[in-house]
């Protein structure tokens, strides 16, 4: 079963039709409330989730999906409008599997659905919840970090910062991006507070160079 969460009935009908015409079971839902009611009855193989929804938006729904043991491993494709770059970045941080940009054709949608489903089948239906690199291991499910087998004693904020860096490795990150995404929009402190967290996280606890992002 694939759930399509979309408040625009025309787009929702296209999604459901495209899926059903290629052999998938599919159900269209208008919002997060309907989605979680449906999940309580049947956990889907995949969720296609619109970003812009009335009430609880797609990113908030994605957080709930990833924080629930019932749906943590369910792949999610998010539908977003052109130019919503921040939504894409934030979605990948939260564990989205792929994006489709509106307006999209049924053919493109099915290509992305099949690609995600094939990846899931190759991994035995399990999403990767552990990141490993040169002695570093980050268990995203348990929120634990080890270096060469020894437990790293990180504060909650240091862990959140590490999570963000790992998921954005290879990307140049500004101080503003780190403060906004780790501390939040309502943070009014000095951005130099970042230095007190970056030093122990990036150089003492984390020796794996793959996890380090360029901060500018």
Structure confidence at residue 124 (pLDDT): 57
pLDDT in tens, 148-190: 888 888 777 777 777 777 767 767 777 777 777 676 644 444 5
Q: pLDDT band at 131, cuts 50/70/90?
A: confident
Q: Is the sign of the CA dihedral 42, 44, 50, 51 positive or negative? A: positive
Q: pLDDT band at 144, cuts 50/70/90?
A: confident
Residue 191 has pLDDT above 90, yes or no: no
Q: Which residues contact 124 (CB under 8 A, 6 or more apart)?
A: none
Tokens of 202: 């990036």
Q: Which residue has the higher pLDDT, 21 or 90?
A: 21
Residue 11 exposed, middle or buried by CB count within 10 Å (0-12, 13-18, 19+): middle
Q: Which residue has the higher pLDDT, 173 or 21?
A: 21
Q: Are 35 and 29 in contact (CB under 8 A)?
A: yes
């Amino acid at each position: 079963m694939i759930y399509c969460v979309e408040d625009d009935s025309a787009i929702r009908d296209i999604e459901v039709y495209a899926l059903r015409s290629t052999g998938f079971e599919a159900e269209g839902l208008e919002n997060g409330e309907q989605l979680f009611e449906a999940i309580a009855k049947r956990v889907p193989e995949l969720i296609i989730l619109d970003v812009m929804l009335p009430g609880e938006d797609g990113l908030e729904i994605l957080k709930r999906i990833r924080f629930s043991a019932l749906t943590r491993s369910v792949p999610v494709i998010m539908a977003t409008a052109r130019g919503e770059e921040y939504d894409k970045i934030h979605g990948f941080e939260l564990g989205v599997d792929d994006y489709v940009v509106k307006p999209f054709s049924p053919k493109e949608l099915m290509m992305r659905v099949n690609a995600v489903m094939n990846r899931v089948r190759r991994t035995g239906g399990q999403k990767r919840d552990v990141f490993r690199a040169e002695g570093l291991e980050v268990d995203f499910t348990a929120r634990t970090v080890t270096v060469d087998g020894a437990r790293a004693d990180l504060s909650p904020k240091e862990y959140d910062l590490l999570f963000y860096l790992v998921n954005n490795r290879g990307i140049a990150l500004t101080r503003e991006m780190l403060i906004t995404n780790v501390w939040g929009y309502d943070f009014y402190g000095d951005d130099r507070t970042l230095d007190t967290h970056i030093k122990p996280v990036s150089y003492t606890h984390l020796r794996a160079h793959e996890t380090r992002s360029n901060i500018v």
